[in-house]
Amino acid sequence: MESKLIGARFYIKLAGSLSARDEQGHGTHTASTAAGNVVQAASFYGLSQGTARGGVPSARVAAYKVCLKGYCSDADILAAFDDAIADDVDVISISISTNDVSDLLNGSIALGRFTQCLGGIITAGSAGNRGPDQGTVANVSPWMITVAASATDRRFVDRVVLGNGKALTGLSVNPVIGTKFPIVYG
């Protein structure tokens, strides 16, 4: 994210959190998905080598830290929305979702996004991590874009040779070469 971060604010006033630094990596991960630079020859331990990039590599990022260790205050979320509007951002991506269906149209995230929508700011949010059953998608207010992950058509085939010489072929993402690992069934 070199030369990408043009501003950073924090809102949580808990002990030891007086910093906008991303302590858990989630914000950095989602920011790089949106605005990461082009990286040639990217791979995961040599698997699936190619070019990686964020959705808009030319974009710059302003970070607004509103959560810490699973705690997110409605007041902090709304204050960050207000600051983003005042900072004249073009797009807001917030990777926070709720399991409470009553919050989908009236919660702080939905209301903050509605205010941004009125100001012409595009807002995108996490669909959550509860799927794949019906009714498990979060952030479904009609004035925002909801973003979700999906399955991939790629398969990483790996082979394990047992002590008796029998070879088992399966799907794995395992760059480690080892000699003694337990077999996991399931």
Residue % of the chain over a pLDDT of 70 = 82
Q: How confident is the model at residue 64 (pLDDT cuts 50, 70, 90)?
A: very high
Domain of 82 in residue numbering reads as 5-147
Residue 171 forms part of a structural domain: no
User: Quick check: pTM over 0.85?
Assistant: no
Residue 163 forms part of a structural domain: no
Burial of 185 (0-12, 13-18, 19+ CB in 10 A): exposed
> How far are the Cα atoms of 8, 65, 76, 156 from residue 20, in angstroms, in the given order?
6, 6, 13, 37
Residue 165 forms part of a structural domain: no
Residue 11 forms part of a structural domain: yes
pLDDT digits (tens, 9 = 90+) for 1-28: 457 889 999 988 766 667 888 888 888 8
The total of other beta-carbon atoms located within 10 Å of residue 67's CB is 18
CATH of residue 33: 3.40.50.200
Residue 94 forms part of a structural domain: yes
Of 77, 147, 148, the closest CA to residue 115 belongs to 77
**Count: domains in the chain:** 1
Residue 124 forms part of a structural domain: yes
Q: Report the C-alpha gap between 44 and 57 in whole angstroms.
A: 20
Is residue 37's pLDDT more than 70? Answer: yes
Residue 75 forms part of a structural domain: yes
Residue 167 forms part of a structural domain: no
Tokens matching residue 54: 């964020």
